[in-house]
Amino acid sequence: MEQNTPSVRLLDFIRSSPSCYHAIDNIRRKLIEKGYIELFEGEDWSVEVGGKYFVTRNSSSIIAFRIPERVVGGFMVVASHSDSPTFRVKPNPELSGPENYVRLNTERYGGMILDSWFDRPLSVAGRIMVRENGRIVEKLVSVDDDLLIIPHVAIHMLKSNDGIVYNPAQDLVPLFGLAGPDEKPQGSLMKIVAEAAGVDPDNILSHDLFLVNRQRQSVWGRSKEFISSPKLDDLQCAFSAFEAFTDSESDNLTNSGHSIPVMFVADNEEVGSATMQGAGSTFLADTLLRVTSALEVCGAKCDCFGAYCTNSAGNSIAAYRRMLASSMLLSADNAHAVHPNHPELADPTHRPRLNGGVVIKYNAAQLYTTDSYSSAIFLEMCKKVGVPTQMFCNRSDIRGGSTLGSISNTKVPLHAVDIGVAQLAMHSSYETCGAFDTGYMINAMKEFFSSSLLVKNGSVEIV
């Protein structure tokens, strides 16, 4: 495969993003390189026509937006998430024994395929809080070494090789090392982490550390049509959103009238999103309202139909609500492809294929936000740029997972469609998708970011 394809760039991004904090920091740094201005929630905001901005929350979620020459319509939001299922390291992690083994005490983060974590080289990454010159400072850390393995029990010692039920507290405890005679291993992990971070271990006050699968990524298959990597769910969509957002920049800033494109990467989707930095928080609502207020977008009934009107004073709440009516959300989180060994698990008439294009997800119980209104708009956008689409529904006797779109919509009510890239082995420590679908997703998102919705009398025009 060529070295500068979307999939190769995706794998580079994932490799440099061993934790949710690293993923957001990577996006943050790339935005700064492209001229975006960082805003802070604890400060006043000053935004201008043609301006490019972003704000982070708790270092693991980010919202970026651009201001076109004249706001016509509302916000065009793409939401994805920065976290993936893994194991979180507990505050006092070292376990002594049995025998002279040293193990690491962890707990599950999110729902995962447990046996996919056995017998693979693992390490730790995340953030530490450090005492530095009388202040508490955050530092990101990734131990670039094979540090741990979760060993499986030999087949000869198992009563059965079928239907094993794993206990995370017993079966999935990582092996960390061997203790010497009379050695007390407590604190040994923090010494390694401190060395990787370049700090004194005595100055580490606390940490948010997670296990990382260090298995080599791969572009493979008869015609190199597959890619496999940790964290495809959901860094594939987060990466696609970033590339589409920045690639669509010239389309937005040169238009005389446009919606405001917004890229939202939330944290904690895998554990329910109910955190200050999750999709269930006020982060998106707070940001969009502050943008509206800073721009003084008109909320009055006048001929301006846009921004910077003399009637705008005191009308930011009304303007915000009016803009939401002409806004849309793409909730981007990966989808299940038909499994090659278990095709019967897929719905009989909705069977996404790898490299088959962007997947639109439907669910009658509203676990996905897609309806006929939102899907029609998105289908028209994809058709315009030649992006193939396919539909996903769970088999009617299988309850699927939920994602961030329906959760976010309880705080910011937007017309929304749930989309994703078809993949195999979702929530494994090593997942697989098609090598060409990342490019499809980027092109679809780019068209979305470059579009506006004009809603009037129950109809919508895409401009």
Confidence (pTM): 0.94
Asked if residue 163 has pLDDT above 90, the reply is no
Asked if residue 442 has pLDDT above 90, the reply is yes
Residues of the chain with CATH 2.30.250.10: 87-213
Quick one: average pLDDT of 311-335?
A: 84
Residues of the chain with CATH 3.40.630.10: 6-84+230-462
Give the pLDDT confidence of 377-415 residue by residue, as tens digits. Answer: 999 999 999 999 999 999 999 988 778 888 999 899 999
Asked if residue 277 has pLDDT above 90, the reply is yes
Asked if residue 294 has pLDDT above 90, the reply is no
User: What does the pLDDT read at residue 26?
Assistant: 99
Buried b (16+ CB within 10 A) or exposed e, 284-312: bbbbbbbbbbbbbbbbeeeebebbebeeb
The CATH number given to 6-84+230-462 is: 3.40.630.10
Quick one: average pLDDT of 360-383?
A: 96
User: What does the pLDDT read at residue 253?
Assistant: 55
Quick one: average pLDDT of 202-216?
A: 98
Instruction: Using pLDDT thresholds of 50, 70 and 90, give the confidence band for residue 309.
Output: very low
Q: Which of 16-20, 297-301, 353-357 has the lowest mean pLDDT?
A: 297-301
pLDDT averaged over every residue in the chain: 92
Of 63 and 71, which is predicted with more confidence? 63
Q: How many Cβ atoms sit within 10 Å of the Cβ of residue 313?
A: 11
Quick one: average pLDDT of 290-312?
A: 56
Asked if the bond preceding 388 is cis, omega within 30° of 0, the reply is no
- Beta-strand (E) ranges in 166-273? 175-178, 204-213, 218-220, 226-229, 258-266
Quick one: average pLDDT of 194-204?
A: 98
Q: Which CATH class is domain 87-213?
A: mainly beta
Give the pLDDT confidence of 106-118 residue by residue, as tens digits. Answer: 999 999 999 999 9
User: What does the pLDDT read at residue 329?
Assistant: 97
User: What does the pLDDT read at residue 402?
Assistant: 78
